[in-house]
Structure 1
Amino acid sequence: MPRIASLVIGEETSKQRRRRVAAERDRRRDLAAQERAGAAAQRKAEKALWEGDYLPRLGERRARSGRQLREATAETERATTKVLRTAYPFIVDDGLGAQGLVIGRDIMSNRAFSFDPFVLYRRGLLTNPNITVAGVIGTGKSALVKCLALRGVAAGYRTFIPGDVKGEWTGVVEAVGGTVIQVGGASRERINPLDEGRRPDRDENGHIVDDEGWRRMVRKQRLQLLEALLETLAGSRLDERDQTALAAALDRATGRGGEVLLPVVVEELLAPTDGCELPAGVPDRAEMMRMGRRAGLYLQGMIRGDVAGLFDGPSTSQFDPAAPMVSVSLAGFSDGDKGVPLVMTCAQAWVEAAVRGGDLGKRFMIYDEASRLMSSPGLLGRMADEWKLARRWGIANVVVLHRLSDSDAAGPEGSRERALAEGLIADTSTRVVYRQEADQLRRTTERLGLNHVGAAMVPRFNQGTGLWMIGQRYYAVAHYRTPWEAALTDTDDAMGGRDE
């Protein structure tokens, strides 16, 4: 309260002094009353702010005011921010930033979610750009991968699909001016899986590729493919005799000159060229023929069996690595066709050889329906070798599965085959898991190391929502599509589509 005083000029009588003192006392009393009234009004305003007295209890009497017929009974809890900041710490991180391809919405922070494996690898948040996407049928995993490819075109990223089993990528590829190569069915297209492919300027170690280095690179690529096909056809691992015979037959087929074809390799296995150079430890041509008989008979299935006419001659299509998208459609094969994994592998080898090198820019390699390859360890081993080159050559491999337990089909627990299949998934720094069935939840939790919160979320996700595990970070993301994207990526047309 301010100090009250009077200015006295001249002499003051006793009567004047009494009047002055009384006036000062009254003034002090009035000021004190005003202060008390102001404090009371402030307390009343604060109370109204906390208790909601500034609005009628049932809401304002007007349209769209949220007026209700009975009072809300929710309990309230009051606390200061000093308490709340320790009792409820922040549970959402600062995200990955806006740089990248917009995927949808982070449902934990309610903000846009962007993702780019190449940018995140450059920032050190990923150890490799590879991606695994898993989810039961109808959860939206295929739509996610297709939208990733479509939006990647705008960022300058190319996409290659070496084995489109169901033909679902055809419309997507054609929509961006890409190339679709149809193999099987009524198509007359043929590809040579032993094509040399594209010669890169530098190898995976950054060394300039000279003529000798190029010959070694092509020989290794062809031998890996032949061994993978033979292991799958034979249903067992190759022994030393098989490996020696196969390598020698490939060298003789290459030495003939001209284009190396599967029938030529088979011919050299079953009937080696007279006077040919024999590997060390092989005494004569007859022994060479005996060593190659098993491999030759099995590989004959690639030129005379169910896939006859597809891989037994020169390629009829030229692969364009500069196209925004290229897919090899295998829609002409039925789902139950046992030769599909072999066809997928030959198509993959052909495409991978055509996009070899680090001077083609960043690109996605989509392995759709990869669960079909899990029962063929030889084919998986060839894929694993290709994945090791991903970082060097700017390739983000995307493997699409129905469930993470698909790798169990490779072999019994603890076997080399199972380890190979699980290692393929382990070599992906980004895992996206859509809804899984209840009987798969335990396996999924073990494979990904999910905590109880993540394990509880996965079986409850709606269509299009998945758990993204990016390095050591976790995000629950709802994938959004534009109407144009939805029309291109909807795989439920035969069922009448789904309500968005």
Structure 2
Amino acid sequence: MILKEPDDYATLHEQIIAGDKPAPRRFSLQGYRYYRWKQKNNRLMQRAEQLAKQVDDVPVVGEKPLSPAAIHGFTGRWSGHAAVVSGPQEWQTTTNLGAGFNPNVVGAPAPAIGAPLGEHVITGSEICCDPLSWFREGIIANPSCFVLSLPGLGKSTLIRKMLMGDVAQGHIPIIAGDIKGEYVGFVHQVGGQVITVGHGMGTLNPLDVGALGRVIPQLDAKITQLKKEKDFGAAGEIEKMLRQAREQIHGRQVTMMSTLLGLARKGQIEDYEVMLISIALREIYEQTDIDWDHPPVLTDLIAHLAKGSEQLKEKSCTFTDAEWRELIIPLLRSLNALLDGPTGQIFAGETSTPIRVDSPAVCIDVSAIDRGDEKMKAAVMMACWASAFGAIEAAHMLADAGLAPQRYFSATLDEMWQVLSAAPGMVSHVDALTRLNRTDATVLNMITHTFKDLEALKTEEDRKTAMGFIERAGMVICGGLPNSELEILSSRLEFSSAESGLVISWSKGAHPKRSRTKGARTVPPGRGCFMIKPSKDGSPGIPVRTILTPTEIEYRLHDTNIRFDEFFKLGTISKASP
């Protein structure tokens, strides 16, 4: 029977789908018309296929299995054809060695969040990380990191790459006391502020009001404006902030002078001497030539104490000028020694370069200070950190008053063993920062070589406090470390055997050769490799190999061997001159 009407072909199609009739041969007249009808009725075809899927165990006459071409996908433009389908990766080992084997022996998945650092050591995927970005995403509970690695393996390079990410996100890195000058090039490149301190290279005023004192005129102007607008409630809040700022500045000035005098005398100064300094500083600000833009200097304090006011004599219980002179002479001698003693003339005058809170980055370079002079280094480091804390507080106060946007800071303590041992109060300062950095909106990057650096602090109290830094750090980053260090570190972090093997292997040096190097110098295999541990509960770490960009290589931002350039170029042993 020859079918002509469309309904006849619909009936035939239903019968074929139901299995009542076989499909006509394709090259017959009836089959030609049937298949042509199917092409013109796509909607009916789709409906029939849906009905066929709902029927279980109903054979479809003429159904063919998938061909190899269908498995590999369709060919042609914009198609998904694959000539070869690769099989999964396979491993082969013995039953004894491979019992319970998991191919993911090292490395947790790393989120692409934060500053780009490099690539995964095993998988090669990109790794992004910085404490503030991971804190925002909830990956870590505290925006801080503790970095441990042997010298020369790239600790400072890793931190500089994180700080570059901070600058790109609008955060402000502060390196308050760059002992080796390793961050100067980075800060120059991002357009930041470099403050150089040393003999003949700049002065620091220990009585400087800092950035916090320099925002007081702005707060005064804001109070006046609010009172003109009759917004007395907001004006009262800013007046409260203003009183708090003045007391903070005064307390920092007194503490700074007490610390400097204690360092010079190798002991604590007398309590009445601290009182006299405090009273004298309050009286100095009553003079007409002293204000927040022109704070007092050491010579002003010495002159005021030498003169002696009625209040000073009354508080010190001295009733005659002779008694006053006898009391004040030891203090005046110690103050004069700060002007031209172990610290040279670094504290003689106003601060040559005040910190700007709106700078993209701030670096206080103290690399010119004689490393053998412990007193001078301690005094300068205390002054640097006091200025840095003042700048952070000033930025937050401006934000609270609505005069500036909220800013976020990243404080870096490179060569932390030198920073902590520089002055008796530095351990307590850093300890307070590790506990309050979330309140201060400040990231803390702590960098040192080994745990033994912390164990070498002078007092037992400082050693115990410093050992707690790693426990409060949001993340711990380990470069190449010897086995002895990992044993100590394992008491605070959990490492798998594979992770421990990687970290120990990174501490090994390059293999020696039989001949001199031609071209590029041989580098240790672990240079630039680090294990990021964002959790202390035994979760897998993230092994990363830092990668330098062409710009970083061109400007040599991470090259700490610049002074060896001529030596490396020689390549041969020079002959001794006759």
List per-residue Cα deviations over 1:65-96 (Å, max 9, x = no partner).
xxxxxxxxx96669xxxxx9975385567534
Q: Is the 8 A contact 1:159 1:364 kept in 2?
A: yes
Displacement of 1:173 in angstroms is 1.6
Structure 2 residue 357 is the aligned partner of structure 1 residue 321: yes
Displacement of 1:143 in angstroms is 1.0
CA distance in structure 1 between the partners assigned to 2:496 and 2:325 by the alignment: 58
Displacement of 1:115 in angstroms is 1.2
Structure 2 residue 548 is the aligned partner of structure 1 residue 481: yes
CA distance in structure 2 between the partners assigned to 1:457 and 1:266 by the alignment: 59
Q: State the partner residue of 1:352.
A: 389
The one-letter amino acid paired with 1:330 is V
Structure 2 residue 252 is the aligned partner of structure 1 residue 221: yes
Alignment of 1:322-401 (within 5 A): 322-338=358-374, 339-356=376-393, 357-358=395-396, 359=399, 360-375=406-421, 376-401=423-448
Change (3 A) 1:267 1:125: farther
List per-residue Cα deviations over 1:233-255 (Å, max 9, x = no partner).
44445665565455445444455
- TM-score scaled by structure 2? 0.62
Q: State the partner residue of 2:149.
A: 135
Structure 2 residue 242 is the aligned partner of structure 1 residue 196: no
Change (3 A) 1:112 1:308: same
Which ranges in structure 1 are unaligned for 5 or more consecutive residues? 1-73, 79-83, 202-206
Task: Tell me the matched-pair count.
Answer: 412
Structure 2 residue 486 is the aligned partner of structure 1 residue 458: no
Displacement of 1:343 in angstroms is 1.3
List per-residue Cα deviations over 1:431-489 (Å, max 9, x = no partner).
22222345544444445565655544433211111222223353222222113223211
- TM-score scaled by structure 1? 0.70
SS of corresponding position for 2:542: strand
CA distance in structure 2 between the partners assigned to 1:337 and 1:231 by the alignment: 16
Which has the larger displacement, 236-245 or 129-138? 236-245
Q: State the partner residue of 2:175.
A: 161
Q: Is the 8 A contact 2:210 2:354 kept in 1?
A: no
Q: State the partner residue of 2:297.
A: 261
CA distance in structure 2 between the partners assigned to 1:182 and 1:171 by the alignment: 13
SS of corresponding position for 1:97: coil
Aligned Cα root-mean-square deviation (Å): 3.7
SS of corresponding position for 2:126: strand
Q: State the partner residue of 2:453.
A: 406
SS of corresponding position for 1:495: helix
Q: State the partner residue of 1:42.
A: none
CA distance in structure 2 between the partners assigned to 1:195 and 1:172 by the alignment: 27
CA distance in structure 2 between the partners assigned to 1:311 and 1:449 by the alignment: 47
Change (3 A) 1:238 1:442: farther
CA distance in structure 2 between the partners assigned to 1:293 and 1:471 by the alignment: 56
Displacement of 1:265 in angstroms is 4.2
List per-residue Cα deviations over 1:309-364 (Å, max 9, x = no partner).
22232222243222222212223223323222321221222233123233452222
Structure 2 residue 276 is the aligned partner of structure 1 residue 276: no
Q: Is the 8 A contact 1:232 1:378 kept in 2?
A: no
CA distance in structure 2 between the partners assigned to 1:126 and 1:252 by the alignment: 48
The one-letter amino acid paired with 2:426 is L
CA distance in structure 1 between the partners assigned to 2:438 and 2:314 by the alignment: 36
Displacement of 1:373 in angstroms is 2.6
Alignment of 1:3-82 (within 5 A): none
CA distance in structure 1 between the partners assigned to 2:265 and 2:484 by the alignment: 33
Q: Is the 8 A contact 1:328 1:347 kept in 2?
A: yes
Alignment of 1:118-133 (within 5 A): 118-133=132-147
CA distance in structure 1 between the partners assigned to 2:452 and 2:335 by the alignment: 30
Q: Is the 8 A contact 1:98 1:113 kept in 2?
A: yes
Q: Is the 8 A contact 2:143 2:442 kept in 1?
A: yes
Change (3 A) 1:169 1:87: closer
Q: Is the 8 A contact 2:129 2:162 kept in 1?
A: no
Change (3 A) 1:145 1:75: closer
Q: Is the 8 A contact 1:157 1:362 kept in 2?
A: yes
List per-residue Cα deviations over 1:45-79 (Å, max 9, x = no partner).
xxxxxxxxxxxxxxxxxxxxxxxxxxxxx96669x
The one-letter amino acid paired with 2:532 is W
Displacement of 1:396 in angstroms is 1.0
Displacement of 1:263 in angstroms is 3.9
The one-letter amino acid paired with 2:185 is G
Q: Is the 8 A contact 2:115 2:161 kept in 1?
A: no
List per-residue Cα deviations over 1:167-216 (Å, max 9, x = no partner).
222222222222222221442x2232432233478xxxxx8553211212
Q: Is the 8 A contact 1:246 1:295 kept in 2?
A: no
Displacement of 1:264 in angstroms is 3.9
Change (3 A) 1:88 1:343: same
List per-residue Cα deviations over 1:296-315 (Å, max 9, x = no partner).
65554432213232223222
Q: Is the 8 A contact 1:465 1:477 kept in 2?
A: yes
